[in-house]
Copies of this chain bind each other. A is one copy, B any other.
């Protein structure tokens, strides 16, 4: 996010979305405003360090907005920006593509013994 001045936009989005967490967080945030601890509850396997790192990355990219409420047990809320909301359907489309592809594979593999996909497949 620093020395790479400007490359192909696809490379840049993928750098943002790569990894387990970004899309997951977007998924939960599209449900509405969430606090740090909400997001940890939503996804118990993320460490708090990762969560704050990933949230900051999304914030820097302008797809998540962070709002800090002064007060005793400090409260911070996260929500998708308009740009973030515009990203959601694109991610969903990828998920749908994957589902369709997997199903097609299944069908092809159950339909006939030698699938059309594996022509010169390596020996293994």
Which of these, B23, B65, B68, contacts A11 with CB under 8 Å?
Answer: B23
- Could you tell me the distance in whole angstroms from the C-beta of A1 to the nearest C-beta in chain B? 13
Contact partner of A13 (CB less than 8 A), chosen from B65, B66, B97, is B97
A14 touching B20 in the complex, CB below 8 Å, given contacts A62-B101, A68-B120, A97-B86: yes
Bound form: Cα–Cα A63–B67 in Å: 41
Interface residues on A, range: 35 or more
Chain B residues with CB below 8 A from A98, complex form: 9-10, 12-13, 16
The complex places the Cα of A94 from the Cα of B13 at a distance, in Å, of: 7
A34-B23 Cα distance, complex, nearest whole Å: 31
Task: Give the complex CA separation of A86 and B101 in angstroms.
Answer: 9
* Among B14, B18, B94, contact of A10 (Cβ-Cβ < 8 Å): B94
In the complex, whether A53 has a CB less than 8 A from a CB of chain B is no
A sample of 11 inter-chain contacts (CB < 8 A) reads A10-B24, A10-B27, A13-B95, A14-B18, A17-B94, A62-B117, A81-B117, A83-B104, A86-B97, A86-B101, A93-B93
Besides A18-B18, A62-B101, 12 new A-B residue pairs in contact (Cβ under 8 A), listed by A number: A8-B27, A9-B98, A9-B102, A11-B20, A11-B24, A13-B97, A14-B22, A65-B117, A83-B101, A83-B104, A90-B90, A93-B93
